[in-house]
C-alpha cells in the first residue's frame, strides 16, 4: 500500500492550507453540517510518479489553551505511530514557539523521517535569514515554503519522497 505522510504542527501554522494545496482539486469537503465543518483529512497525492497518502492530523483544534496543548501532543503521537514520513509544519511569521519545541521534542524521539517545513515564506526573495532560527528545533534543515503562494512545494515534495 501507499506510504503515509502525516502533516503535524501546532494550530495556525498552515497545515490545512498546505494539505489542501497538495491535495489539489481532487479534494472536497466530506461533511458540512451546520456548526460542525469538518474538512477531509486524507488525500492521495502523486509527485514524480510516487504516490502517497497525506493526512492532516490537525483536526479542529478548538478549546482552551490546555486542551489544545493536549491535542497537539496527541496528533504528534498519532503521526509517529501511523506515518512513514512526518511533515512538521512551522510558521516563519511567529518564529519558533514553545509549542513548536514541544512537537519537535516528541518527533526527535522517533526514528521515522521528519521533513521540517517553515511555512508563510511568501516572498519569492525567500526570507532566508528568518528560517535559520528553525535549526534550533534539532530536526534538520528547515525548508522554506508558502502554502498560500504555492512556493517551495516542489523541493519539499522531493524531500518527502526521498524517504520512501
Ligand atoms: P492550521 O491550523 O495549521 O491547519 O492552519 P490553517 O491552514 O488553518 O491556516 C492558518 C492561517 O494561516 C490561515 O489564516 C491561512 O490563510 C494562513 N496561511 C496558511 N498558509 C499561509 C501562507 O503560506 N502564507 C500566509 N501569509 N498565510 C498562510
Ligand atoms: Mg487545520
Per residue in 51-61, pLDDT (tens digit) is 999 998 876 66
Q: Where are the domains of the chain?
A: 4-161
**Residue 121 pLDDT > 50:** yes
Find out whether 16 is annotated in a ligand binding site: yes
Whole-angstrom distance, CA of residue 140 vs CA of residue 36: 37
Q: Whose CA is nearest to atom 25 of ligand 1?
A: 120
Find out whether 14 is annotated in a ligand binding site: yes
Best mutation site among 6, 13, 14 for ligand 1, i.e. most ligand atoms within 8 A of its Cβ? 14
**63-83 pLDDT per residue, tens:** 788 888 888 888 888 888 999
Q: Are strands 85-91 and 50-56 parallel, antiparallel or unpaired?
A: unpaired
pLDDT at 60: 62
* Class (C level, CATH) for 4-161: alpha beta
Question: Would you give the end-to-end CA distance of the chain in angstroms?
Answer: 12
Ligand 1 contacts (CB < 6 A) are 9, 11-17, 58, 61, 119-120, 122, 146-149
Residue 61 alpha carbon, nearest atom of ligand 1? 2
Whole-angstrom distance, CA of residue 57 vs CA of residue 39: 11
Average pLDDT, the chain: 87
Residue 93 alpha carbon, nearest atom of ligand 1? 26
Cα 147 to ligand 2 centroid, rounded to whole Å: 12
**Residue 28 pLDDT > 80:** no
Q: Are strands 31-33 and 36-38 parallel, antiparallel or unpaired?
A: antiparallel
Whole-angstrom CA distances from 125 to 20, 115, 153, 158, 159 are: 24, 22, 15, 21, 21
Q: Which tops the pLDDT comparison, 27 or 14?
A: 14
Lowest mean pLDDT: which of 51-65, 73-87, 96-110, 144-158? 51-65
36 burial (CB, 10 Å; 0-12 / 13-18 / 19+) is exposed
Tell me the mean pLDDT in the region 36-45: 68
CA 63 to chain centroid, in Å, comes to 21
Whole-angstrom distance, CA of residue 9 vs CA of residue 57: 9
Closest CA to 152 of 142, 140, 162, 163: 142
**Phi and psi, residue 128, nearest 5°:** -65, -35
**131-147 pLDDT per residue, tens:** 999 999 999 999 999 99
Find out whether 121 is annotated in a ligand binding site: yes
pLDDT at 79: 87
Amino acid at each position: 500500500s501507499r506510504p503515509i505522510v502525516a502533516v503535524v504542527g501546532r494550530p495556525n501554522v498552515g497545515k490545512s492550507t498546505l494539505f489542501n494545496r497538495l491535495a489539489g482539486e481532487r479534494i472536497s469537503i466530506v461533511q458540512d453540517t451546520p456548526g460542525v465543518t469538518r474538512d477531509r483529512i486524507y488525500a492521495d497525492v502523486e509527485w514524480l510518479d510516487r504516490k502517497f497518502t497525506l493526512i492532516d492530523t490537525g483536526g479542529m483544534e478548538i478549546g482552551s489553551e490546555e486542551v489544545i496543548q493536549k491535542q497537539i501532543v496527541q496528533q504528534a503521537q498519532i503521526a509517529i505511530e501511523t506515518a512513514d514520513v512526518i511533515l512538521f509544519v512551522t510558521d516563519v511569521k511567529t518564529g519558533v514557539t514553545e509549542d513548536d519545541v514541544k512537537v519537535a521534542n516528541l518527533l526527535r524521539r522517533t526514528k521515522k523521517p521528519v521533513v521540517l517545513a517553515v511555512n508563510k515564506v511568501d516572498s519569492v526573495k525567500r526570507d532566508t535569514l528568518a528560517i535559520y532560527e528553525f535549526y534550533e528545533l534539532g530536526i534538520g534543515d528547515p525548508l522554506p515554503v508558502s502554502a498560500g503562494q504555492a512556493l517551495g512545494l516542489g523541493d519539499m515534495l522531493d524531500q518527502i519522497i526521498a524517504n520512501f
